[in-house]
Amino acid sequence: MEEPEWHSPAAIEEAVALKARLGDAAAVVAGGTFTGILVANGLIRPTAFIHLGRVPGLDRIEIGDELRLGAMVTHRRVERSSEIRQSPWGCVAECFAQVASPRIRNQATVGGVLCDADYASDPPTLLVALGARVRLRSPSGEREVLVADFIKDHYETALRADELLLEVVVPRPPLRVTYLKFKSRSSEDRPCVGVAVAADMDREGRCGSLRVVVGAVSGRPQEFPDVCAIALGHRITLDVATEIGRRYSELASTLSDVRGSAAYRSRLIAVLVRRSLEPLAA
């Protein structure tokens, strides 16, 4: 096959125009940690690459009413940002710090981890629980999509052939947020199961809002609002935490891979959801 074209645009308008012209035949390169694996194993054969490293503004971090992370912000920058850690979004930095190893986090980007839609990733699970959105641009304009709707299935997103992901927008988190993962192999391995919990509690310890999201067990993060509803307006007891974990275990779709069987993952979901909710227990 012919050598793929290499494009390195210097402006967002140029990058968007290239993506619109080349469509799905082109692979967008951010950090390259996942794209390199796909190409090396012959899983994708792009006729062109669009590298975003020279596009200004895509590496910007902004903190205001919402947290805005440019598509080219690396995991390591999120992890080590004192501004993020000292803000209400400290949970985001803590989650990104759990991804793989420092050498991966130095390369992997915020936009890349979402556009790859690799099921065995940590950040998407937390970002779904926080109600985060992605901002997308095409020649016809911009649109925003919830991360929960952006990731469709294994390596499948709502990104159109003529669109680029510009940034991730994270609303102000509730007061209680946790991300808990279980690794079945090495300390640097990807998650076998990941659980994100985002909750608001009133002064009496009653639950005002609750989102529990399970990731790394199927093609996309999963949540079951009807199950979480049993805690609303009440104190979360250990029995309630156990019951929510049990129901999530029964409802969540799970897969088998080298990190664990589908049945193993189902059992882990019950345990990790309960453990994630225990700090909220009265």
Residue 209 pLDDT more than 80? yes
- What integer pLDDT is reported at residue 282 of this predicted model? 66
Q: HSE-up of 256 (CA within 13 Å, CB side)?
A: 4
Q: In whole angstroms, what is the distance from residue 233 CA to residue 236 CA?
A: 9
Helices (H) and strands (E) counted in the chain, each on its own, are 12, 14
Q: Are 216 and 209 in contact (CB under 8 A)?
A: no
Residue bearing tokens 């940034």: 167
CATH 3.30.390.50 location in the chain: 176-280
Instruction: Tell me if 195 sits within 8 A of 273, measured CB to CB.
Output: yes
Average pLDDT value for residue range 208-237: 98
DSSP string, 53-101: TT-TTTT-EEESSSEEEETT-BHHHHHH-HHHHTSTTHHHHHHHTTSS-
Q: What percent of the chain has pLDDT over 90?
A: 93
- The architecture that CATH gives domain 176-280 is 2-Layer Sandwich (3.30)
Report the chain's mean pLDDT, rounded to a whole number.
Answer: 96
CATH of 5-51, one of 2.40.50.140, 1.10.357.10, 3.40.50.300, 3.30.43.10: 3.30.43.10
**Tens digit of each residue's pLDDT (9 = 90 or more) over 36-68:** 888 888 888 999 999 999 999 999 999 999 999
Handedness of CA 256, 214, 121, 169 (dihedral sign): positive
Question: Using one digit for the tens of pLDDT, what is the confidence trace for 114-169?
Answer: 999 999 999 999 999 999 999 999 999 999 999 999 999 999 999 999 999 999 99
**Nearest one of 116, 119, 95, 115 to 105, comparing CA atoms:** 95
Buried-exposed string 213-244: b where 16+ CB fall within 10 A, e elsewhere: bbbbbbebbbbbeebbeebeeeebeeebbbbb
Query: What's residue 34's pLDDT?
Result: 85
CATH 3.30.465.10 segments of the chain: 61-170
From the CA atom positions of the chain, what is the Rg in Å?
19
Task: Check: CB of residue 157 under 8 Å from CB of residue 115.
Answer: yes
Q: Where residue 2 falls among pLDDT bands split at 50, 70, 90?
A: confident
3-state secondary structure 92-122: HHHHHCCCCCHHHHCCCEHHHHHHHCCCCCC
Q: Provide the CATH topology of domain 61-170.
A: 3.30.465
Phi, psi of 151 (to 5 degrees): -85, 115
Specify the pLDDT at position 1: 59
Report CA 96 to chain centroid distance, whole Å.
Answer: 9
| pLDDT for position 38 | 84
Per-residue pLDDT, averaged over 83-103, amounts to 97
pTM of the entire predicted model: 0.96
pLDDT of residue 36: 86
Question: What number of other Cβ atoms are within 10 A of residue 120's Cβ?
Answer: 17
